[in-house]
Amino acid sequence: MIEAKDIDFYYGSFHALKHINMRIAAQSVTALIGPSGCGKSTFLRLFNRMNDLIPEARLTGKCLVGGEDIYGAHVQVDDLRRRIGMVFQRPNPFPKSIFENVAYGLRVNGMGDRRFIADRVEESLRAAALWEEVKDKLKKSALALSGGQQQRLCIARALAVQPTVLLMDEPASALDPISTMKIEDLIFHLRSTYTIVIVTHNMQQASRVSDHTGFFMLGELVEYSETRKMFTNPEKTETQNYITGRFG
Amino acid sequence: MRTKLQQQIAFFIFRSLGLLVIGLLFWILGFIVYHGAGVISWEFLTTAPRDGMTAGGIWPALVGTCYLVIGSMVVAFPLGVMSAVYTSEYARNGRIVRLIRIMTNNLSGIPSIVFGLFGMSLFVRTLGFGDSILAGSLTLGLLVLPLVIRTTEEALQAVPATYRTGSRALGASRWQTVSRVVLPVAFPNIITGLILAVGRVSGETAPILFTVAAYFLPQLPTSIFDQAMALPYHLYVIATSGTDLEATRPIAYGTALVLIGVVLCINLLANLLRRRIGKHAHKS
Ligand SMILES: Nc1ncnc2c1ncn2[C@@H]1O[C@H](COP(=O)(O)OP(=O)(O)OP(=O)(O)O)[C@@H](O)[C@H]1O
Ligand SMILES: [Mg+2]
């Protein structure tokens, strides 16, 4: 479903991703782990082309999503970003109402009329397990929500435009344990509909939510296998050391 | 013990200086109110000067200044905001941005009398607008353009980058991001910049000297091609070139008081607007 072929990525002269090959299965959860600064976020941002916004960044290799070369000449980047949603480490709702936050993606993509938007907003908030908590205050500012609610709102916002892929960059690292659990539950429910790639520093989280895990170090994909295998019987000693917390 | 004493002494000095500044401000205000309040009346505000400007009011100058403020903002605001949006949201070429910054900084360093001369040469003569509200507004607009650009840029840069990435990641274009997220968030601060610009414009004399200001013109302007009186220039005139300066002194102070009043009113208005829109942007 998602495929990275011979990826090399540079920030100016800094070689951030080194010759990465990776196939990510559709409708599954793939976790990316590794020490800080190893390039997980950089790798994730390749797939919705958010790296394009960074000046001096350079990429070689191919990124395929659903067979399509997303860096091909004909690709509409804004449309690609609609199809491939992203959730960031820090919840970043817009300073608008809860409703408008979720409706935003629909509006900018010119999707549907009032009725459709209202329906989609409710649907998305339900899918993000937030509807019950906010249904009476949709007109209230999103900034008045708790951090965990804000993050679920950001997930709802991403789901509203009906992406096929959801990229999550440490979506729970700024949250308390209960909110984290809610996000994990959510990922568990979303896995059947979306292809999810999640970056996390939390080994338990990776082992709880993901089907496959990739371990990055210094810009290289050191090991990539089924999560169960990775956490019980890793092939490389670096992986073993990292997941048992001996460094990183 | 010693550091504590030092700290107390430092605080004492800072506090005194701070109070001194506030005191000075009140002194100036009080001075003008004391000398000027006596002449302020409904008649003073709403009639034209009489008897060689030793009597009567300031109505034409008040109206002229309002026109000039509005005119110059119509020139400077869209231009300034657009150019700030360009440099801080669009331009990817750092060299061009730096060049524009240097130019605007230099522009803001030019004495206002030079703007006056430039305005006269370009708008009054070359473009043939004559001494007119149009020429004066354009000149004043250019004068405050750097201020509007700088405050708008600061307002835009104060908007967290995460809003922009969040918006772009949802498939919004650069323009949609700017118009739907960045500008609404930055708007209150942009208005603050506008207030500063209005204050600056309403008090300037040099740029309007050769481009619009009439020495004495009892009737109101009827089009943007007419000359107009303006408060700061009127103040200058009655304070320096009357037949009986002592007798007209209260009128001068009264005019100064009205000028300050106008600026304060506009500030107040802009602040209200800012609040309302700030709240509104938050809600919707
Ligand atoms: N915009 C940028 N410009 C230059 N270098 C960058 C930029 N963003 C990241 N880097 C560098 O690229 C490397 C990989 O960064 P990246 O953010 O992908 O790491 P990460 O694995 O996500 O780390 P973390 O776990 O701390 O989030 C780091 O060494 C970082 O310093
Ligand atoms: Mg990261």
CATH architecture of A2-243: 3-Layer(aba) Sandwich (3.40)
Give nearest CA residue, ligand 1 atom 9: A42
**Which of A14, A44, A86, A200 to mutate to test ligand 1, by most ligand atoms within 8 A of the CB atom?**
A14
How many Cα atoms within 13 Å fall on the side-chain side of residue A54? 14
Give the Cα separation of B236 and B176 in Å (integer). Answer: 48
In this structure, the residue with its CA closest to atom 31 of ligand 1 is: A37
- What tens digit of pLDDT does each residue of A27-86 get? 999 999 999 999 999 999 999 999 998 888 999 999 999 999 999 999 999 999 999 999
Cα of A174 from ligand 2 centre, angstroms: 13
Polymer length of chain A:
248
Which CATH number do you get for residue B122? Answer: 1.10.3720.10
| Res B145: pLDDT | 93
Asked if residue B23 belongs to a domain, the reply is no
Q: How far is the CA of A151 from the centre of ligand 1 (A)?
A: 22
The model's pLDDT over A3-32, given as tens digits with 9 standing for 90+, comes to 999 999 999 999 999 999 999 999 999 999
Would B222 be classed as within a structural domain? yes
Whether residue B141 is contained in a domain is answered as yes
What's the A13 CA to ligand 1 centre distance in angstroms?
13
pLDDT value for A247: 58
- Tell me the C-alpha to C-alpha distance, in Å, between residue B240 and each of B44, B209, B248, B250: 20, 15, 10, 13
Chain A residue with the nearest C-alpha to that of B92? A55
Domain-wise residue ranges, chain A? 2-243
- pLDDT tens figures, A181-229: 989 999 999 999 999 999 999 999 999 999 999 999 999 999 999 999 9
**Host domain of residue B125:** 38-283
CB atoms within 10 A of CB A163: 22
Instruction: Summarize pLDDT for A139-160 with one digit per residue, the tens.
Output: 999 999 999 999 999 999 999 9
Distances (CA, A) of B71 to B190, B202, B223: 18, 11, 12
Q: State the DSSP code for A202.
A: -
Give the number of whichever ligand sits closest to the CA of residue A55.
1
Residues 6+ apart with CB under 8 A from B248: B53, B54, B238, B239, B242
B180 touches chain A (CB under 8 A): yes
Query: Which residues, numbered 92 to 111 in chain B, qualify as contacts with chain A under a Cβ-Cβ cut-off of 8 Å?
Result: 92
Contact A81 B168 (CB under 8 A): yes
Is B17 among the domain residues?
no
Q: Name every residue whose Cβ is closer than 8 Å to that of residue B75 and which is 6 or more positions away in sequence.
A: B137, B138, B140, B141, B142, B145
Q: Is residue B2 in a domain? A: no
List, chain by chain if needed, residues with CB within 6 Å of any ligand 1 atom. Answer: A 11, 14, 16, 34, 36-42, 54
Judged by CB atoms closer than 8 Å, whether chains meet at A96 and B284 is answered as yes
ipTM of the complex model: 0.91
Does the residue B12 lie in any domain? no
The total number of structural domains that make up chain B = 1
B168 in contact with chain A, both atoms CB, cutoff 8 A: yes
In a domain, B20, yes or no: no
Q: In A43-109, at which residue ranges do the beta strands (DSSP E only) sit?
A: 57-65, 68-69, 84-87
Task: Spell out which residues of chain A touch residue B176, defining contact as CB-CB under 8 Å.
Answer: 108
Residue minimizing CA distance to atom 7 of ligand 1: A11
Cβ-based contacts of A108 with chain B (< 8 Å): 167, 170-173, 176, 180
Residue B266 counted as domain residue: yes
Q: Which strands, in side-by-side order, build the sheet including A57-65?
A: A14-24, A2-11, A57-65, A68-69
Q: What are phi and psi of A23, to 5 degrees?
A: -115, 125
Q: Cα separations (Å) of B5 from B8, B10, B14, B32?
A: 5, 9, 14, 40
Name the band, by pLDDT with cuts 50, 70 and 90, for residue B215. confident
